[in-house]
Structure 1
Amino acid sequence: MTARNAPSTPIWENVEAAILQSSLTQTEYVLRGGRYHLFLLLAGTATLLIGDTDTDIQAPAFVWVPQGVSSKVGIKAGTRGMVVSIPELQLGISLPSGSLGVDVRAALAAPIIRKPDLKTTARQLQILTDTIHEELYTNAPATQDIVRYNLTLLLIQIWRASATEIRHSTAIPRSIFQNFVSLVELHLTDHWTVAAYAAHIGVTKDRLTSAVQRATGRSPLAEIHRKLLQEAELQLLTSPQQISEIAYKLGFKDAAYFNRFFRKHMGLSPGQFRTKKQEQLPPKTFAAWP
């Protein structure tokens, strides 16, 4: 099997896409849990291994593997499809706004294996993944906007296809902490205050602080900073962009503020961190994705 890859330097925030084409032998993809992955099977058979559980999947079908879940996907001879890899920061940016985004984010937190009930669903997923791939491959004007727009539609389609029934978030009881985590992922680069998160959830700042401390042992602000540092580390290690560009991408007003924030929490500047850690990264291929 061969895969037509996006450029070696990803065009939009390390989102990657490839076409899976027929082969005479089986090919195995090792997913180490560093990103979210969508495998869309249009023809043939694949095998998903998560832990000790082996599942055979017959096309048409899709497999969603969330970040943090290490697994293996074996693509058998004659299989055809698409694969999209999404960093967590870009997934958060691409989620729909409001309560729908909270519902979609909750659904995408677990592995999903589905055969779409309707042929139109499989066709829509194919159109969206094809568009993302072509935009990444050609890097035409407005690529970022088109990729983000199609990722949003793609995530909604996955949520629709995975749900046994569509519910509004108001009908599903959620803890204050769960809502907080979802909102942080949606608005991490907006740099909301803790009071803004509390107001959006509909609780007092003290009640939010109590809920987050019980769940994590940290304050809401410390949890926001922890998440922001995780995204900063990911960008520094995987993006070829300059420190100032990464700072802007993460919502900082200027690189100096980003440098102070990073040094305060990590003990070294973003540039020093990148230099120290970059040599430790393994070679990056589609057959051994992060």
Structure 2
Amino acid sequence: MNLVPSFTLYADNRSNVPPQFVHIETISVRSRVNNWIIRPHRHPELFQILLLTRGGADMRLEGGSAQLEAPALTAIVPNAVHGYAFQTDAEGFVLSVSDAYLRDLLRAAGDQDATDAAAASSIIPLAGWGEVAVKIQAACERIAAESRRQRTGSQARIGSDLMLVFGLLAELGPDGRGTAPTDRGADALLFDRFRLLVEEHFRDQLPITAYATALATSERTLRRAVKARSGQTPLEILRQRILLEAQRDLLYSAMSVSEIAYGLGFEDQSYFSRFFANAAGQSPSRFRATHKSGWSGTVTD
């Protein structure tokens, strides 16, 4: 089976990243040796931020594409399929942090807005956020310096700058339009726990009652909290997560439709095909034929 590559870092297929793992490097370090093309891949255990300070890039994120022009920022959640074709004058930083470590930091900070900002991938133009871009670049430079020195207190300083970056990410909002503070409370906490549980078990075909039981709440309370935070029902969120993984497999693997269905917990391929067609508006085979393509990348100076 030809699956989309999963890397700890690009071209590094180690897994089980160490606790408190933080890695930062310039865009050119890995891109130059790969002809400025980072082909579609994913990081199962890492949250990754890319800050583009000069130049541009063509980007692939899941099934879509985007043009990046400096200054710009991308935030990539674990397992999101992404790739870049950079211009050869591109500059900036790639900051990777263990998802478990990041969640520990966010939990300790108790900032729901920052937690929400780390829950979804985003592409954010920074043309109107010059001061924020400068602050994020300065934080990246400090993290890089502390990573090289490894002096007493380095971990605390790095953790502080990580929180600064994610606080600014929350301020920017998912599209760079800014966000207002949100009400925090039990609903937000329950919703966050539900999303984490979905990520762990979406392949298991569990009913929503099982999620409610695991969260020590009623299905009614779970539905109310999820609806209040997202405007969707728990079942809609679960189905969207299954659909996303199915689309990833169809676009970035050579698995048959039946293999994809089985891997997502469907015992009946025809049921999976009906589920996919109802959600995506076309059959799995048609979706693959319409959207799948290789990517050599187009790099312009």
Report the TM range for the smaller structure's normalisation.
Answer: 0.5 to 0.7
SS in 1 for 2:120: coil
Equivalent runs, 1:179-194 vs 2, <5 Å: 179-181=192-194
**In 2, distance between residues paired with 1:173 and 1:165?**
24
State whether residues 47 and 74 of structure 1, in contact with CA within 8 Å, keep that contact through their aligned partners in structure 2: yes
Q: Quickly say closer, same or farther: Cα 1:171–1:129, change in 2 above 3 A.
A: same
Equivalent runs, 1:134-213 vs 2, <5 Å: 134-162=145-173, 164-170=177-183, 174=187, 177-181=190-194, 208-211=216-219
Q: Please state if 1:52 is matched with 2:63.
A: yes
Q: Quickly say closer, same or farther: Cα 1:214–1:124, change in 2 above 3 A.
A: closer
SS in 2 for 1:33: coil
Deviations 1:237-273 (A, max 9, x none): xxxxxxxxxxxxxxxxxxxxxxxxxxxxxxxxxxxxx
Equivalent runs, 1:1-290 vs 2, <5 Å: 13-21=20-28, 25-28=35-38, 30-34=40-44, 35-95=46-106, 97=108, 101-116=111-126, 117-162=128-173, 164-170=177-183, 174=187, 177-181=190-194, 208-211=216-219
Q: Quickly say closer, same or farther: Cα 1:56–1:166, change in 2 above 3 A.
A: closer
Q: Quickly say closer, same or farther: Cα 1:107–1:212, change in 2 above 3 A.
A: farther
**In 2, distance between residues paired with 1:12 and 1:176?**
24
How far 1:78 moved relative to its partner? 0.5
> How many residues in Structure 1 have an aligned counterpart in Structure 2?
187
Unaligned stretches of 5+ in structure 1?
Answer: 1-7, 185-204, 216-290
Q: Quickly say closer, same or farther: Cα 1:143–1:182, change in 2 above 3 A.
A: farther
| Greater Cα offset, 148-157 or 10-19 | 10-19
Q: Which amino acid aligns with 1:19?
A: T
SS in 2 for 1:170: coil
Kindly report structure 1 stretches of 4+ aligned residues shifted beyond 6 Å: 212-215
State whether residues 57 and 87 of structure 2, in contact with CA within 8 Å, keep that contact through their aligned partners in structure 1: yes
How far 1:110 moved relative to its partner? 1.4
Q: Which amino acid aligns with 1:121?
A: V
**In 1, distance between residues paired with 2:129 and 2:222?**
43
How far 1:208 moved relative to its partner? 4.0
Q: Quickly say closer, same or farther: Cα 1:133–1:109, change in 2 above 3 A.
A: same
Unaligned stretches of 5+ in structure 2?
Answer: 1-13, 198-212, 224-301
Q: Which amino acid aligns with 1:106?
A: D
State whether residues 11 and 139 of structure 1, in contact with CA within 8 Å, keep that contact through their aligned partners in structure 2: no
State whether residues 23 and 79 of structure 1, in contact with CA within 8 Å, keep that contact through their aligned partners in structure 2: no
Provide the alpha-carbon RMSD of the alignment: 3.7
State whether residues 107 and 159 of structure 1, in contact with CA within 8 Å, keep that contact through their aligned partners in structure 2: yes
**In 2, distance between residues paired with 1:65 and 1:207?**
27
**In 2, distance between residues paired with 1:91 and 1:175?**
18
Q: Which amino acid aligns with 2:78?
A: Q
How far 1:136 moved relative to its partner? 1.1
State whether residues 48 and 97 of structure 2, in contact with CA within 8 Å, keep that contact through their aligned partners in structure 1: yes
SS in 2 for 1:64: strand
Q: Which amino acid aligns with 2:150?
A: N
